[in-house]
Amino acid sequence: MKFSAFTIMTADWTVEETAQQLKRLGLDGVAWRVVDQQMSDTPSSHVGNRSTWPLTGLESRLPEMAQLRDETGLEIAALYGYAGWSDHHTVERLVRACSVLKVKTCRVLAPRLPQLGRVPYDEHLQRSKEDWAWIAECARGFGVRVVTPLHHGWVNASASAARRMLDGLPPNDVGIIVDWGCLAREGWEDPLATVQILGPYLDSVMLKNYGIYPSRKRGDGSVIWEHRPEPLQTGRVDIPNVFAALNADGFDGWVTLAEITAKMTTRDRVADALAFAKAAAQSTKDARAEAWIYDGALVGGRWGRLSPGEAL
């Protein structure tokens, strides 16, 4: 496995500082955020983020991106665009940029369609399948793989739904990012099953985490629950168990950190997330599918050596 950071983690660093610092901290690569964003004097993950390349004029910035890569030795794991997969013009621009940079992977998102449920699911699915058929052809022409994350509220909220959306398309051209934090909110399936269901469409992994908490009570006493971001170590997703599933299936791709919750400096937060993820990957390197056991509760299944109360 190789480790990268998505630059929502590094909002207060410039792109130059990000490339330099990530390399010093021991990461293998970076997933660059590419979007025209709202500006702010107070940078945050999605507003005024200084580690973002603007979509406007992106083509003119590609030599700068390549120079940063070459000077620091930090690989560009992917360009993380924000175009909806129905926006063919912008998707093609992002794919072309990846091709120029010799970056293998380009991320796109779900289009801003009416909410699932307001439009019949089959309509969402059919429209998405048509868009992805076009994307597969576009990607093939440039030698780039276009991917999208599993995400709550989308037509591909689970591994099963994503496989249904992409099935039949060439997996060299299109794929899926398993965003385990989003799966904690919707679409959770057994971790090993998730990896196996996606099969050749599994491109990479994103690590962030959520917890679930009682929010308020209705007048009848029923409880309303809500999800809140959590550090990797303390959220609902059992990160070591996720790595056990990846190791059991022989995954050898990018693991992208996207942890923004810890109350630390940017440098310490990145370093802490990387150390935890690497330790989890190393401690579960001997995981095997035949030692996977059903564990019930939220996790679904678990590598036998990670059963509750047992130390590695």
pLDDT tens digits along 87-103? 999 999 999 999 999 99
pLDDT tens digits along 163-184? 999 999 999 999 999 999 999 9
- Contact in structure between 172 and 234 (CB atoms under 8 Å): no
Q: Is the pLDDT of residue 271 over 90?
A: yes
Helix, coil or strand: residue 29: strand
- pLDDT, residue 35, reads 97
pLDDT tens digits along 208-226? 999 999 999 999 999 999 9
- pLDDT, residue 306, reads 83
Report residue 297's pLDDT band, with 50, 70 and 90 as the boundaries: low
Q: Is the pLDDT of residue 312 over 50?
A: no
Q: How far out from the chain centre does Cα 56 lie?
A: 24
Q: Please name the amino acid found at residue 273.
A: A
* Structure letter (DSSP) for residue 119: B
Report residue 311's pLDDT band, with 50, 70 and 90 as the boundaries: very low
- Contact in structure between 206 and 258 (CB atoms under 8 Å): yes
pLDDT tens digits along 27-83? 999 999 999 998 888 888 889 999 999 999 999 999 999 999 999 999 999 999 999
- pLDDT, residue 112, reads 81
Q: From residue 111, give the alpha-carbon distance in Å to each of 6, 54, 87, 114, 300.
A: 21, 19, 8, 9, 31
- Count CB neighbours of 8 within 10 A: 20
Q: Where are the domains of the chain?
A: 2-306
- Tell me the CATH number of domain 2-306, given options 3.20.20.150, 3.30.70.1170, 3.30.110.40, 3.90.550.10: 3.20.20.150
Strands (E), the chain: 2-6, 29-34, 52-53, 75-84, 105-109, 145-149, 174-179, 202-207, 209-217, 223-230, 254-257, 292-296, 300-303
- Contact in structure between 174 and 166 (CB atoms under 8 Å): yes
Percent of the chain with pLDDT over 70: 97
Q: Is the pLDDT of residue 309 over 60?
A: no
